[in-house]
Structure 1
């Protein structure tokens, strides 16, 4: 008989507590939490003001404040790829702190660093998956031996072997592990070169130091419109509304390969279950509202607004997939 891992049981138990709390209040209704909130709600973001996670958190602050009747404050705790902020959320005990996370903080971080000061499965409780996005395999326009057709591009990359390089915002990022997975699925062998962030990756591509990279759709399309990058394919299972003119890599017969970046809200596991349940329902409803869906789309996200269980399942599935890539490709943190 199949048995869930301890991490899986922990995630699902936390999610189930939220779901049960919501069910008590009635279908589609946020559960009652007498006496809460008693003060402003704090949303911790592990990235700087103006970053994508920061913009998403601020998109939710006003509607959450209206729903709760208390101010909602976004606080930036920057560093370690968002893990400093994640650790602050995990250790919060005031029952009025949650966090907005990228998927790496909830999946990849502990796989590459067992000494991480927080354990996502033990210390954080899923609330809601907010938005998802594919990445776009991109190449410089001036790269004569890199055709725009995905099949021909993969063939050219195979022939180039390790003479080609690809860039990412760092070791262990989704772009890094995703490209390593692409290498395993296609037989290509470009060399990884990490950079501080996506702007530096694009600069290196335009300067001829890199032959390829997986980029967020908004950034890739901006460079495409400027006539500087060619977009080869998106990493989602099918075409994405975020870049509808770009074929999926699956259309080019790249098999067993699907990759998305996402963001999500989570709470400290110590937060009372009824409070988590109320927040999960409210955040999901806000994410699915037409106004917020439109804002998220402008920020480069397809809105989801899942249940706590839905987010727990996504964390579990992505953690397993990334663990396999790390193991098979022998990736180590630097």
Structure 2
């Protein structure tokens, strides 16, 4: 399916050699040319459980990356702390063959809420590529009955329920957490936050009656909607999304000044040699834009991007500033 990556691999290898050779010619004191890379399997660390949205994205890229690099690509799940345990493992990696698939919270929000975060996204991680973006979907269990007839009815029921209702997220400081706190401020409802290891566990808790609401990724939300177990009430994008075209935006339900988007991206340890990072960035961006992977990402609930490393760095800065404003305005603190 990804035969053209063989040609792509050769071109990138040639480009890499040219860059390294030019650098050496320009600086007589430069170190010898970097040896061939990769020399062993590439490891993609994911900070969420198998079957989670980040895990599925990482595995979507694993096969074409393996074909392009000529080495196996292994996805390793290091779960906990809203993905920050996995992020820290990537930041500390020194083997030259480890990268990570991150949600935006790990690269933007985490540092704003946790002054003791063991890694610094700016200093310890190097952006590779923004690969997918998506709104979240406000979902509720069908067992709530008439309260789930539409978003307006649900928000009214939530206001009346006060803190007797609960909502779940993949952890403190994730986009789902900050987004729901902002939604609470915009609508006057007051559900209690309960963190879980990942979105699949949030959905399971909703089906079991432990939660009354959550902001879920579109693919997971629609799967449970098709099973007749969840109602999808509104998307967090400014307007309707192509990922869930039948679901109105929350703005249509009268929610003002509320817009939210999640994304996932690849980043490498800052210690990884720059030429290797450049090669991986180019490969990942190309793969994300391929028709096959674009289709797979769409099925998983993502609109493919495939940015440059600079594009991801710019998005990180913009979102850090935006989420910082939300945290200050709502006086949000790590639990």
Q: Give the TM-score band, short-chain normalised.
A: 0.7 to 0.9
Instruction: Work out whether residues 129 and 307 of structure 1, in 8 Å CA contact, stay in contact via their aligned partners in 2.
Output: yes
TM-score (norm 1): 0.82
Taking a change above 3 Å as real, the CA distance of residues 301 and 188 of structure 1, as seen in their structure-2 partners, is same
Instruction: Work out whether residues 139 and 215 of structure 2, in 8 Å CA contact, stay in contact via their aligned partners in 1.
Output: yes
Taking a change above 3 Å as real, the CA distance of residues 203 and 273 of structure 1, as seen in their structure-2 partners, is closer
Q: CA deviation at 1:99?
A: 1.4
Instruction: Work out whether residues 139 and 146 of structure 1, in 8 Å CA contact, stay in contact via their aligned partners in 2.
Output: no
Paired position in structure 2 for 1:10:
none
* Superposition RMSD in Å: 2.6
Instruction: Work out whether residues 52 and 200 of structure 2, in 8 Å CA contact, stay in contact via their aligned partners in 1.
Output: no
Instruction: Work out whether residues 97 and 267 of structure 1, in 8 Å CA contact, stay in contact via their aligned partners in 2.
Output: yes
1:291-332 C-alpha deviation (Å, 9 max, x unpaired):
111122222222111111221122122222222222222322
Q: After superposition, where does 1:150-299 map in structure 2 within 5 Å?
A: 150-299=151-300
Instruction: Work out whether residues 82 and 171 of structure 2, in 8 Å CA contact, stay in contact via their aligned partners in 1.
Output: no
Q: CA deviation at 1:79?
A: 3.4
Q: CA deviation at 1:208?
A: 4.3
Q: Give me the whole-angstrom Cα distance separating, in 1, the residues matched to 2:136 and 2:321.
A: 20
Instruction: Work out whether residues 29 and 281 of structure 1, in 8 Å CA contact, stay in contact via their aligned partners in 2.
Output: no
Paired position in structure 1 for 2:37:
37
Taking a change above 3 Å as real, the CA distance of residues 120 and 68 of structure 1, as seen in their structure-2 partners, is same
Q: CA deviation at 1:199?
A: 4.2
Instruction: Work out whether residues 47 and 78 of structure 2, in 8 Å CA contact, stay in contact via their aligned partners in 1.
Output: yes
Higher RCO (C-alpha under 8 Å, 6+ residues apart): 1
Q: Give me the whole-angstrom Cα distance separating, in 1, the residues matched to 2:130 and 2:238.
A: 18
Q: Give me the whole-angstrom Cα distance separating, in 2, the residues matched to 1:29 and 1:251.
A: 50
Which SS does the other structure have where 2:332 is aligned? coil
Q: Give me the whole-angstrom Cα distance separating, in 2, the residues matched to 1:67 and 1:200.
A: 34
1:183-242 C-alpha deviation (Å, 9 max, x unpaired):
122233223233444344334434544332212222222222232222110112222222
Q: Give me the whole-angstrom Cα distance separating, in 1, the residues matched to 2:160 and 2:55.
A: 41
Structure 2: unaligned runs, 5 residues or longer: 1-10, 21-34
Paired position in structure 2 for 1:57:
58
Q: Give me the whole-angstrom Cα distance separating, in 2, the residues matched to 1:29 and 1:181.
A: 47
TM-score (norm 2): 0.82
Q: Give me the whole-angstrom Cα distance separating, in 1, the residues matched to 2:286 and 2:180.
A: 34
Q: After superposition, where does 1:73-222 map in structure 2 within 5 Å?
A: 73-144=74-145, 146-222=147-223
Instruction: Work out whether residues 139 and 231 of structure 1, in 8 Å CA contact, stay in contact via their aligned partners in 2.
Output: yes
Structure 1: unaligned runs, 5 residues or longer: 1-25
Q: Give me the whole-angstrom Cα distance separating, in 1, the residues matched to 2:208 and 2:75.
A: 37
Q: CA deviation at 1:182?
A: 0.8
Q: Give me the whole-angstrom Cα distance separating, in 2, the residues matched to 1:114 and 1:216.
A: 28
